[in-house]
Amino acid sequence: MVIITLQRDKCIGCNYCVEMDPAHFQMSKKDGKSVLLHSQNAKGFFTLKSPNHVIVESCELAAKACPVKIITVKET
Ligand code: SF4
């Protein structure tokens, strides 16, 4: 399983994650922050779980590009 998290309230809206991984991140037109697509919100931590390990590479690029380090990628 791959687990991606986004601590959304700390997003500064720089768009880097979207550039690196548009399949999983999109900018919200409402508040200008990143949205982790198909994720579930638990107290501000948005989490996406996927059995598809192919997504790790692009999600890690997004995590590395994020200047405030609010994206994590874990493999279990
Ligand atoms: S890279 Fe980080 S700070 Fe920039 S938009 Fe994405 S989540 Fe927000």
Domain, as residue range, for 19: 2-75
Amino acid 21: pLDDT? 98
- Mean pLDDT, residues 57-64: 98
* Number of domains within the chain: 1
- Ligand 1 midpoint to CA 32 (Å): 10
For ligand 1, whether the C-beta of 65 sits within 6 Å is: yes
- Ligand 1 midpoint to CA 63 (Å): 8
What pLDDT, in 10s, does the model give residues 20-59? Answer: 999 999 999 999 999 999 999 999 999 999 999 999 999 9
Task: Find the CATH number of the domain harbouring 64.
Answer: 3.30.70.20
Amino acid 1: pLDDT? 97
Distances (CA, A) of 17 to 29, 34, 36, 55, 76: 15, 8, 10, 14, 22
Residue tagged 């037109």 (tokens): 29
What pLDDT band is residue 8 in, cutting at 50, 70 and 90? very high
